Amino acid sequence: MEEIKKDKMNNTTKLRKKIIYKGRIKVLTGLHIGGTNSAMGIGGLDSLVVRNPLTKEPFIPGSSIKGKLRSLLEVMDGTIGGKISNEIKHGPSEDSEIRAVKLHGTAKKDHQRPSRLQVRDAHLILIEDDEIFKDTDLHYTESKTEVVIDRIISAAMPRTIERVPAGAEFELNMVLNIFDGDDEEELKSALDLSVKLLEDDYLGGNGSRGYGQVEIVMEKVEERTIDSYVAMASKLVADHEGNI
């Protein structure tokens, strides 16, 4: 029993460092990431954007950014989906040797792997006297009317979609965790590649119709080792004791 406990302890993966990425997401074409339509009334918008319920400002969910980064990496490597026995499986891969799984993790029961990447919700950057939203017809957003044509009877079916206008910017905050045994360079390279792929793809919905082109501006990359966290904690304790 004692040997089993020792083996489990030896196999425990320890955190080595955190790499903090901070920057901005610049919206180049109208961005639509859908929110709830519970407040939609007759004659109103057909599809709303997701908003902070307290400030009513649009934001980009971290799950939307992270999911797009993962899917683009899987599409590039040809690893999305897979085959289980004779059944074709769609969705993210669960093979632990694949880059996307190494970076984003898997919940597969046999060999769960925590995600190495954390992506925060991206909040709208507001500047005092900012002119970007001065003439928008909605609160921080615009409405875009599209018309779908029935190809059989040529009937027009209009719909109105809410979008964050081009020119808006959002905060970008990501954390890459590096554990013992991880290939740090592979993880950083996979993340950098995913970000570049995103710039030549789209974020949110309706990308094939011109929505969601973005530019990622990385402003700061900071590494924090476990020793640096211990030093910061010790300083906090010392400062607290000095103020007593």
DSSP state of 128: T
Beta bridge partners of 124: 170
Beta bridge partners of 49: 34
Q: What pLDDT, in 10s, does the model give residues 138-190?
A: 889 988 887 677 677 767 667 788 999 999 999 999 999 999 999 999 999 99
Q: What pLDDT, in 10s, does the model give residues 218-233?
A: 999 999 999 888 888 8
Contact 122, 62 (CB under 8 A): yes
**Environment class of 35 (CB within 10 Å of its CB; exposed 0-12, middle 13-18, buried 19+):** middle
CA distance 179 to 199: 28
pTM of the model: 0.81
CA distance 65 to 29: 16
pLDDT at position 54 over 90: yes
